[in-house]
Structure 1
Amino acid sequence: MRHTSYTLCIAAFALMASLTASAQTPPQPLKATAAVATAGTTTSAFDGVVEAVRQTVIAAQVPGAVIQLDVKVGDRVKAGQVLLRIDARAAEQNAAASDAQVQAARSSLDLATKDFERQQRLFQKNYISQAAMERAESAYKSAQAQANALLAQASASRTQSGYYVVRAPFAGVVSEVPVSLGDMAMPGRPLLTLYDPTALRVTAAVPQSVTARMPADPKLRIELPGLSAASAWVVPGKVQLLPTVDAATHTVQLRAELPGGVDATVAPGMFARLWLPLARSDAPGTAPGALLSVPVEAIVRRAELTGLYVLNPQGKPVLRQVRLGRATDGRVEILSGLMPGEQVVTDPQSAARVR
């Protein structure tokens, strides 16, 4: 019994010693940072779509059945590569007939040339009259004109024969093939769609009221939500604001070109966003109209409460509810609940243990 009482006394003395030591140890200072004001600016997102700067719909120029189709959707082609062929048997026969007519016209021209030269020699010796000489000259010129006309017609036939072989106008990717083997091609009917994957852009419709607040050189960013986190954010190479306004929606098209090293999976039609920094219309450049931002790790989320710990004048952390805005680059905008310059604790767990 005495041994048990002795043990309890020792434990009590040890507890009191540890409490005294902890009371004498000064508490570690809380890590805090000042709320930064982004005076007079805010960032807005506008939905857009990826477009090809160079895209063409290749249509038929001559009628005929599709007898050869060498590409399919998704194929990469080179400039001048054969894409499809249209039945050209009738055109080739017409070209052959035109060539035969040219040969006949040249024979007639050779005969008329020799006869004209012979009539010239006879006329110089006064063996024929002036009228006979003029008739010979007229026959020679007529044969020459007919030969030239048939030669031009044969050249046109050969050129038209080339329309039956469809080639790629530039290197690109086939995005659509609305025909198949055996289909009848007619002049103006689309055969396939081709685009250049090295020249893409994002186009978004921006309200007319927003364009008035755009800076002269907007430092916007492109977000491609369909890609991985490493490739989702892109800095555009060139930004263009079209000078025309849509009369129905009162919006202006904003175009941002994608750089050459963008992800190879980006294709026309993909969803994208343009994040555009704008001047605030309420109080540009003043503290009341400025947006505040704090580190993301300073935010505290408890059930439906979103807040952060702010140091009071005595240096004690006080939990305060705030309303958040957009988060980017490791910081989050504070729309309400915080004043510029206030010290925000960046380690909420340490602040929660302070009494």
Structure 2
Amino acid sequence: MKRRLILASALVLSALPMGSLWASAGSTPTMTAATSTSGAAEVSLDAVVEAVRQATLSTQVAGTIVGLSVKAGDRVRAGQELLRIDASAAQQQVVGSSAQLEAAQANLNVASKELERQKQLFQKQYISQGALDRAQAQWEAARAQVQAQQAQTRAAQTQTGFFSVRAPFNGVVSDVAVTLGDMAMPGRPMLTLHDQSALRVSAAVPQSMLDGVRSQLSAVRYEIAGQSAQTVTVGTAQLLPAVDPVTHTAQLRLALPAGTEGLAPGMFARVWVPGGKTSASAPNAKAAPVFLPVSAVVRRAEMTGVYVMDAQGKPRLRQVRLGRVNGPNVEILSGVSAGEQVVTDPSSVTSKPLKAAP
């Protein structure tokens, strides 16, 4: 009985015309992909999140690292000790210099007493003026020796401070390039520190777009880590006056609000700047982007695509690369060209049952 039903169904399908299998495609809602006039007035630029304050710490002296109190990701305070180098030799120099200072002060005391005696003898005319002058000179030499030794002692004490690396400001440790037992050398990078509370977005603006961007800084927008595009606040956008002689671009910096969570230096960002007159050859720029409804996008595992009608009027799934979201529409960076017919409701293609043509 089942075999007869299957055979009957096959005969019915074979009697249907071939076009009836795609009869639902004829009623599939579609639209013509076109460039957006509002999008044409903006140009998308690749950008990166940067820290306004970032420091790579090193040491001024050589020695073995004997203390490492932080690791990458730790929050530190200004003045907190991050790394310590063996300072045994420097401490011995401080001890020796302090002993020499005490000896110089003892000599100064002797010279002071001798000068007082010589003054008393001179008043009684027991000694000559030359003897008094020699006593005065010995006292001045002893005093100068004390001052020199004091300076040397302070220098030795300051030198011991170089063996302790401290945080210059409140921030987060980005990277630790050394371990316990390593040899620290002057100028060798050991730790990287950045201020998480002060971040910015930096983008390279082509030379041909500088005039337009400079006059419309308030219209600049940015997007970070898949978040919705944000408009910069007044006074937070800065276009540097210098142009790189190699890339012929100027740096555009957008200050981010303090306390924004989930951001870190090095993150990819995207910036949209006014640039309707930008040439198509400008790097990282698109003069006329294509926008489609968000509902037209199909996501299957790691593939993102849309259904595009082919020459026979049949919907074909095509992979695309998405850009910014502008309300109900999304920018299509690649995969669809202006003028192509795109299915706006993918469920009408995948879920409608087959039916015979009337």
TM-score past 0.5 threshold: yes
Relative to structure 1, is the Cα distance of residues 272 and 119 closer, same or farther in structure 2, using a 3 angstrom cutoff? same
- Alignment pair present for 1:278 and 2:275: yes
Whether the 8 Å contact between 1:92 and 1:161 is mirrored in structure 2 is: yes
The percent of aligned pairs where both chains have the same amino acid is 50
- Alignment pair present for 1:269 and 2:266: yes
Corresponding pairs, count: 280
Secondary structure at 1:104 match in 2: helix
Letter in 2 for 1:222: Y
Secondary structure at 2:172 match in 1: strand
Secondary structure at 1:56 match in 2: strand
Match of 1:233 in 2: 229
- Alignment pair present for 1:62 and 2:61: yes
Alpha-carbon distance in structure 1 between the residues aligned to 2:297 and 2:92: 82
Relative to structure 1, is the Cα distance of residues 152 and 189 closer, same or farther in structure 2, using a 3 angstrom cutoff? same
TM-score computed with the length of structure 2 as normaliser: 0.69
Gap runs ≥5 in structure 2: 1-33, 280-286, 299-305, 311-321, 348-358
Letter in 2 for 1:220: V
Report how far residue 281 of structure 1 moved: 6.4
Whether the 8 Å contact between 2:229 and 2:325 is mirrored in structure 1 is: no
**1:282-333 deviations in whole A, cap 9, x for unaligned?**
9xxxxxxx98999948979994249xxxxxxxxxxxxxxxxx9975122468
- Alignment pair present for 1:136 and 2:140: no
Match of 2:256 in 1: 258
Report how far residue 109 of structure 1 moved: 0.3
Match of 2:200 in 1: 201
Relative to structure 1, is the Cα distance of residues 72 and 281 closer, same or farther in structure 2, using a 3 angstrom cutoff? closer
Match of 2:308 in 1: 304
Report how far residue 261 of structure 1 moved: 3.5
Whether the 8 Å contact between 2:39 and 2:289 is mirrored in structure 1 is: no
Report how far residue 43 of structure 1 moved: 1.3
Whether the 8 Å contact between 2:58 and 2:188 is mirrored in structure 1 is: yes
Match of 1:88 in 2: 87
Alpha-carbon distance in structure 2 between the residues aligned to 1:154 and 1:298: 76
Match of 1:222 in 2: 222
Whether the 8 Å contact between 1:47 and 1:272 is mirrored in structure 2 is: yes
Relative to structure 1, is the Cα distance of residues 189 and 131 closer, same or farther in structure 2, using a 3 angstrom cutoff? same
Gap runs ≥5 in structure 1: 1-34, 283-289, 307-323, 338-345, 350-355
**1:229-259 deviations in whole A, cap 9, x for unaligned?**
5x45344341111111122221111111111
Superposition pairs for residues 135-214 of structure 1, below 5 Å? 135-214=134-213
**1:79-111 deviations in whole A, cap 9, x for unaligned?**
111101100111001001111111111011011
Larger Rg: 1
Whether the 8 Å contact between 1:66 and 1:87 is mirrored in structure 2 is: yes
Relative to structure 1, is the Cα distance of residues 242 and 330 closer, same or farther in structure 2, using a 3 angstrom cutoff? same
Alpha-carbon distance in structure 2 between the residues aligned to 1:211 and 1:131: 81
Letter in 2 for 1:113: S
Alpha-carbon distance in structure 1 between the residues aligned to 2:61 and 2:309: 70
Secondary structure at 1:212 match in 2: helix
Alpha-carbon distance in structure 1 between the residues aligned to 2:291 and 2:179: 59
Match of 1:28 in 2: none
TM-score computed with the length of structure 1 as normaliser: 0.70
Letter in 2 for 1:233: A
